[in-house]
Amino acid sequence: MPVAERRAQLLHAAFVVIARSGVGGATTRAVVDEAGMKLASFHYAFTSREELLSELVEDVLHGQETLLDLPALDALDGPDDLETLLAVGLLGYFEGVRADPLRERAMFELTQYAMRTPGLEPLAARQYERYRALARAALEEAARRAGRRWSRPVDEIAGHLVALTDGATLAWLADPDDTRARATLTFAARSLAALAAPYSPSTPAALPDASATFTSAALPSAAPPTRSGSTEQRSRA
């Protein structure tokens, strides 16, 4: 088996183990057992468990594709209302969390691991920079489709969106009440939409170009990401 393929299988196995047992449970033995390999095979791919986990954190960072799952064009009845777009996107994100809660737990575990590990701390910050960039893209696209403009800097609102989805996700993982989570995310959509005003060509703050796109890629279950298909289907390193 080529080394690159072996590494990919071990990274996938490590993510599955972390989703099930946490970082502490991701021993070298547990990872190779999950991958269906012999222990000696591990050292042909990685020099240590720490190297494996460091690369997994990097994979998580670069694997996130979407934070807010906006509905497709013409998917809504009537015109694209900003609050409705945000609510549908956030609730779609939540369905991704519900579909694979172990992946979300693994994302949080890897973020904590990066924060606690000397030399990996910047990766956790970069992870959230990426989340905010994905959130900004979604917010700009939603505003364009609804014919609205943001009354506050979009980067600021993107930070709110990331914090809201993180909080809602963690609260649901600790106490999985679907009704409460959906109510929280609906409130978040209403609160964020209140930060927008009608778009007018005379206003100085122009909307993003209509050619701007926002991708919503499906993430594999318990695979090195990927963050859900919430708020980029969290998720999270």
Residue 235 has pLDDT above 70, yes or no: no
The Cα 69–Cα 92 span in angstroms is: 6
| pLDDT (tens digit per residue) in 162-207 | 999 999 999 999 999 999 999 999 999 999 999 999 876 655 544 4
**Among residues 49, 64, 68, which one has the least CA distance to residue 104?**
64
Predicted confidence at residue 73, as pLDDT, reads 56
169 contacts 107 by C-beta, under 8 angstroms: no
- 64-198 has which CATH code? 1.10.357
Q: What is the mean pLDDT of residues 13-19?
A: 93
Q: Where in the chain is the domain with CATH 1.10.357?
A: 64-198
Q: Of residues 68 and 163, which shows the higher confidence score?
A: 163
- Residue 64, token pair as written in the block: 């996130």
Whole-model pTM: value is: 0.76
Q: Where in the chain is the domain with CATH 1.10.10.60?
A: 3-61
**CATH 1.10.540.10 given to domain 3-61:** no
